[in-house]
Amino acid sequence: MVRRLRQLFETLLALDPAVRDGRPDAVHRMRVTTRRLRSTLKAYRRLFDHRRSEHLAGELRWLGHLLGAARDHEVLGDLLITQLDGVPPQARQGALRGQLTAWSAREYRRAWQQAVTELDGPRYYALLDDLEFFIDDPPRSARADRNARKQLSKTLRHEQTRTVRRLDAALGLARGPDQDAALHSARKAAKRARYAAESARPVAGKSAKRFAKRMKRLQQDLGTHQDSVVGRRTLLALASSPPTDTPGHLFAYGVLYAHQQRTAEVALEELPLLRSSIIDRRLSRLS
């Protein structure tokens, strides 16, 4: 597990200059690396000193949110602009496409600049130092000396149970904001379970790969649903902001909103099947 943390840390350091230079996809890759680091620490926290691993996980959460603000605007902008192709031509004049493009670029730039400013700050450098110290001299707990495959199986079983419970809680709610928030929470659990399995692959091989693959499918479906939630919220804000919007633009926003709503419904329809693919306890039994 320490080897996995070291690999991720080295990737994080390599991506730092790319993010500062504004290179394509750098923010996304650094964000994913940050999340993988945090998920590994959280999922395998029993193998390390709790206080130190929790501190690092908290700081990585801060970094992930910082990078996420820029990435989310980038993804949402691309999504809405692409979906404009489904709006009747008379209602999607070039001005609307230009407005959405300008809005996306402006919001991304603002969030990116804030992230780069924080990367020059003491909190970020303290996090890098703490990570390096942790990896160079890992504060292992007594569990770390036990059978590796058995410990990994326990971890994956815990992550599996955690994900199913969150998903079931979400599916038991009525449609609306509360369910949306609960599904987003289930998505986070599925993502952590996936990353935990990916970290276990050097030891568990195909068993961990199968676990990760199924959790990834669930995570992606829940991610599609969450994107639709954010998309609809953004469209409502855009449609109510401006004196520059024409009736045609408002119609186009309505078409995009309906498309996002249908996307969410399709994602929800897929969840029972995806749930059935992750509930078998044999899935977390590493052979």
Residues 56 and 140 in one domain: yes
What is the reported pLDDT for 142? 53
Residues 127 and 163 in one domain: no
In a domain, 286, yes or no: no
Q: Summarize pLDDT for 1-58 with one digit per residue, the tens.
A: 778 889 999 999 999 999 999 888 888 899 999 999 998 888 887 777 778 888 999 9
In a domain, 284, yes or no: no
The residue to which tokens 């994080």 are assigned: 12
Chain-centroid distance, C-alpha 256 = 23
In a domain, 15, yes or no: yes
Q: How many domains does the chain have?
A: 2
Confidence label for 143 from pLDDT (cuts 50, 70 and 90): low
Residues 107 and 164 in one domain: no
In a domain, 216, yes or no: yes
DSSP 8-state assignment for residue 137:
S
Residues 15 and 110 in one domain: yes
What is the reported pLDDT for 244? 52
Residues 156 and 197 in one domain: yes
Using alpha carbons only, what angle is made at residue 41 by residues 36 and 45, rounded to the nearest 5 degrees? Answer: 150
What is the reported pLDDT for 287? 60
In a domain, 283, yes or no: no
Collect all residues with Cβ–Cβ distance below 8 Å to 165 and sequence separation of at least 6. none
Residues 164 and 112 in one domain: no
Q: Which one of 145, 166, 192 terminates a domain?
A: 145
Residues 117 and 131 in one domain: yes
In a domain, 255, yes or no: yes
Q: Which one of 83, 117, 145 terminates a domain?
A: 145
Residues 141 and 156 in one domain: no
The residue to which tokens 């029993």 are assigned: 46
Q: Which one of 101, 125, 145 terminates a domain?
A: 145
pLDDT at 140 over 70: no
Q: Summarize pLDDT for 94-123 with one digit per residue, the tens.
A: 677 777 788 888 888 888 899 999 999 999
Please tell me the pTM assigned to this model: 0.79
Confidence label for 278 from pLDDT (cuts 50, 70 and 90): very high
Residues 130 and 166 in one domain: no
In a domain, 178, yes or no: yes
Residues 25 and 138 in one domain: yes
DSSP 8-state assignment for residue 174:
P
Q: Summarize pLDDT for 153-179 with one digit per residue, the tens.
A: 888 899 999 999 999 999 999 999 999
Report the chain's mean pLDDT, rounded to a whole number. 85
Mean pLDDT of 204-214: 86
In a domain, 273, yes or no: yes
Residues 59 and 20 in one domain: yes
Residues 108 and 233 in one domain: no
Q: What does the radius of gyration of the chain's CA atoms come to, in whole angstroms?
A: 21
Domain span at residue 208 reads 147-278
Collect all residues with Cβ–Cβ distance below 8 Å to 8 and sequence separation of at least 6. 33, 36, 37, 40
- Please report, for the domain that includes residue 83, its CATH number: 1.40.20.10
Lowest mean pLDDT across 22-36, 191-205, 235-249? 235-249
